[in-house]
Structure 1
Amino acid sequence: MSRILNSIVAVCPDMGIGKNGNLPWHPIRLSNEFKHFQKMTMTPLVEGKKNVVLMGRKTWFSIPAANRPLKNRINIVLSRELNTAPEGAHYLASDFSSALHLLDSSELEKQVDQVWIIGGSPVISVEKFREIFPGVPTGVQEENGVQYVFEVYESTDH
C-alpha cells in the first residue's frame, strides 16, 4: 500500500535533535512546541482512524514512563536489540522496512491514518521524505527565552 510518511523533529541551531535523552533546550519546557507536536501527531485526517508514532528505542525510553505510550496514537518502536516490544509500546519492528510492512498488515492497515516518524537521529537519518505540515507558524518563535522555528520540508521525489 502506498502511504504518506511524515516526520516531525525539533532541532537546535546546530541541527541537533537531542542531548543525553532530552531535547536540546532541556530543562526549559516549551509548551507551545510540545502542543504543536501533540496536535500534529495525534490528529488523524480520517475520522475513526489513529495516527502512528514511529520511534527508535532510545527515543521511547527518553519519554517519561508515565507518558508511555503516547496517548491516542499507535506507538511503534524500532530496535535491533530488543526481542519484544517494551512495556507500553504497541508494536516492535527490527528496522524501518519491517515497520512499513507492519503498517500494511491486516491487523493495522484499516486502523492507521498518518504515520509520524518522531526520532531519534538514527531513525530520522533513514527517512528520506517530508510532508507539508499544515498550519505551521512562520518566523522565529520565542518562549521562555528560547528561540525556535517551525520548518516544513516537502520531498519532490515521489
Structure 2
Amino acid sequence: MSFSPLLAAGPVISLHAFAALAAFVLGVIQFAMPKGTGLHRIIGYLWCALMVAIAVSSFWISTLHVWGRFSPIHLISVFVLLVIPYGIYRARTGNIAGHRKSMTYTFFGALIVAGAFTLLPNRIMHEVVFGTPPALHQK
C-alpha cells in the first residue's frame, strides 16, 4: 500500500479520499461505542462534517462523464447532503431510531458501497491499495 498515487492526484482528490478514510474510521468507532454520550455527539458531528466535505468535494471530481461532468456516483453525494442534516434533525427531535437508520444507511451507502467502487481497476484507490499493475511498469 502506497499513498503516493493519491498524493499525486491533486488536492481535491486527496482531500476527498483522506476525509473518506477518516470518516470510515470514525464511523466504525461510532458503531462500537456507547450511544447518546457527549463523546458520541462530538465524534458524530465530526463524522457529519467529514461526510459533507466528501460529498461537496466529489462535485469537483469527474472521471466518469455520464451527465456532462457528473455520473451516477454524484447521486450519492446529493443523498449525503440531504440525509446528514435530516439524521441530525431526527436525533435532536428524539427520533433515535430514525437517526440511527439515516446515519447507518449513509455509512454503508456512501462509504462502503461507493468506496468499493473506488477499488476497481484503473482507479486511484485501486493503485493505492493494490499497487501499480505490472504492465504499467514495463513502459
TM-score normalised by length of structure 2: 0.28
More helix by share: 2
Larger Rg belongs to? 2
More strand by share: 1
TM-score normalised by length of structure 1: 0.26
